Amino acid sequence: MNSNKFSIYDNLFAPLVVVDKDYKVTYFNQAFLVLTQSSPRSLKNLDRFSLIFNESEVIERFLKGSVQTSEELTLTTPSGHGPLTLVLKSFSVDNDLVITFNDLTVERTLYSKYRVQLEEIKRTHEKILQTDKLATLGELSAGISHEINNPLTIAYGYAQTIEFEVGSKDVIKCDELKTSIERVTSSLEKISSIINNMKSYVRTDEEHKEYCDLKDIATAAIELTHTGLIKETIKLNLKAPKDPLLVQCNRVELEQVIVNLLKNSFDSLLDAKTAAPLVSISLSRGENNISVTVSDNGPGISDQHKEMIFQPFFTTKDIGKGSGLGLSISRRLIEKHQGHLELIDSENGAVLKFDLPTMEMSSMLTSGGFGPEIGPVGQKKVLIVDDEPIVLNQLDELLRGAGYSVVSSTGGEDALNLLIQTEIDLVITDLFMPRMSGSDLSSKVRMLEEDIPIIYLSGAPNAQEIFEKDKKNLVIHSLISKPFSEETLLSTLAQALKVKP
């Protein structure tokens, strides 16, 4: 170390080196010695600064380059010290070049280490989820086999009838034969539906989220659980509004939650031998959320257990009947969907309720949150209004894939609220929706936004007629007929937004 003008850096915590025009080291501070585990002698004997590291060519490129701050570099010293993760910054002082070092080695090491650990935790969690599902399915298998057996018996019976009729010397009665074949087919379809439901229940696709009707999910969960002896013994009521209850979710995970809640109620009622056992599953829509409540008229949950039911491995069931993971997993799955699962105080039986954000809310969160801007700056934002989950999912996938930011709504006031709360660049709306037609929505949109492009989407025969009528009055840009191709959709959007497709 020289007793030169740079000695003010002697006690600096940041490692610092000064090199001359030939890149020979003329000054270094103690922090630099510590960083590189070098000795003053070895530094003084160096012909060029870059030789401090094995990766000298990388250092040379930085020194001779035009940038003053390097990328993150991974460097080692000839004595074997490292690897060090460093960012170098340089600035000139007279004819010297001062180089400082930001040592990110610990941060980078911790990041890598904890990332591996998090991945392990995630994999373990997935295994627990899968194990719980398989265990549940195992417990439900007796009931499910009963459900399969019934249509199988029917199909077998009608197949025998067909065999008899075809083999008989009498004239074949076509109507009767057709009826028999139809009954065989419908019975096999029922079996196929049960098998498919089981298959989808054990499917693992943790990251996949789509727009689903919660009523369909609840129905599938009922089909899996309300079977056999349970179906014969316990009455089940499903209460749901007529309109679809769309949520953006992982269908399998929500089905797992509802299966867990229903199964808990059924087990509790059977164990307690409750008279006139009844389970109700009620679905409802609030302003920003959709609620699912599962209640029963069983013994309920005692005060001493109320605090513990969401803890892993807590169970009041007999050994071998339930892992004690169902509710803790369910709560976690609901929280993953930005929702909340809770036990509701009740004097009659157990009541568990979960809330999920409406699809408008969750699609907005996915697209970057509230406020006037959603999604990355410069990305065009499209509002899709449709009441059919299949169409919403298709549009969502296509538009996101093409780089658009997407928010979705089933229509009505919710769609208008989205327009008020966020800055939308374009609206695609279905024409025929239960609460508000596409025309009515467009006319309200025009009161809020004069210039926003609106595109109609419809497969109805009179769609063209409506479009022609609204085209001038409401300044509708175009009509896309269902079914549509990706190319048609994207080129129409590009024209409306005046961007390159």
- Binding footprint of other proteins on the chain (CB under 8 A): 1, 10, 13, 30-31, 33-34, 39-41, 105-106, 109-110, 113, 117
Instruction: Compute, in degrees rounded to 10, the torsion defined by CA atoms 226, 231, 237, 238.
Output: 30
CB of 38 to other proteins, least distance (A): 10
CB of 148 to other proteins, least distance (A): 48
Burial 253-262 (b: 16+ CB within 10 A, else e): bbbbbbbbbb
CB of 31 to other proteins, least distance (A): 7
CB of 98 to other proteins, least distance (A): 19
CB of 11 to other proteins, least distance (A): 8
Backbone angle region of 215, left / alpha / beta, with phi > 0 → left and psi within -120 to 50 → alpha: alpha
Q: What are the φ and ψ backbone dihedral angles of 227, each rounded to 5 degrees? A: -135, 170
Nearer to other proteins, 10 or 96 (CB): 10
Rounded CA separation 380/396 (Å): 13
The answer to whether residues 425 and 407 touch, using CB atoms and an 8 Å cutoff, is no
Nearer to other proteins, 34 or 499 (CB): 34
CB of 30 to other proteins, least distance (A): 4
Of 292, 274, 318, 323, nearest in space to 138 by CA: 323
CB of 120 to other proteins, least distance (A): 11
Of 169, 253, 147, nearest in space to 210 by CA: 253
CB of 41 to other proteins, least distance (A): 6
Nearer to other proteins, 116 or 390 (CB): 116
3-state secondary structure 124-163: HHHHHHHHHHHHHHHHHHHHHHHHHHHHHHHHHHHHHHHH
Strand partners, 354: 292, 341
CB of 312 to other proteins, least distance (A): 22
Nearer to other proteins, 51 or 230 (CB): 51
DSSP string computed for 293-319: EEEESSS---HHHHTTTTSTT---SPT
| DSSP label of 69 | B
Nearer to other proteins, 36 or 408 (CB): 36
Nearer to other proteins, 45 or 149 (CB): 45
Of 101, 57, 132, 93, nearest in space to 325 by CA: 132
Instruction: Give 324's contacts (C-beta < 8 A, 6+ positions apart).
Output: 312, 313, 314, 315, 317
Burial 78-115 (b: 16+ CB within 10 A, else e): eeeebebbbebbbeeeeebbbbbbebbeeebeeeeeee
Nearer to other proteins, 110 or 344 (CB): 110
The answer to whether residues 423 and 374 touch, using CB atoms and an 8 Å cutoff, is yes
CB of 86 to other proteins, least distance (A): 15
CB of 70 to other proteins, least distance (A): 21
Nearer to other proteins, 84 or 224 (CB): 84
Of 393, 402, 414, 390, nearest in space to 493 by CA: 402
Nearer to other proteins, 108 or 353 (CB): 108
CB of 123 to other proteins, least distance (A): 16
The answer to whether residues 382 and 425 touch, using CB atoms and an 8 Å cutoff, is yes
Tell me the helix, strand and coil percentages in the chain, rounded to 5. Answer: 50, 20, 30
Nearer to other proteins, 31 or 382 (CB): 31
Nearer to other proteins, 10 or 216 (CB): 10
Q: Distance of alpha carbon 242 from its chain centroid, rounded? A: 26
Report CA-CA distances (Å) from 290 to 282, 287, 330, 344, 435: 11, 8, 16, 16, 17
Report CA-CA distances (Å) from 206 to 79, 90, 214, 447, 453: 47, 46, 18, 41, 36
Look up tokens 């019975």; give the residue: 187
Nearer to other proteins, 106 or 447 (CB): 106
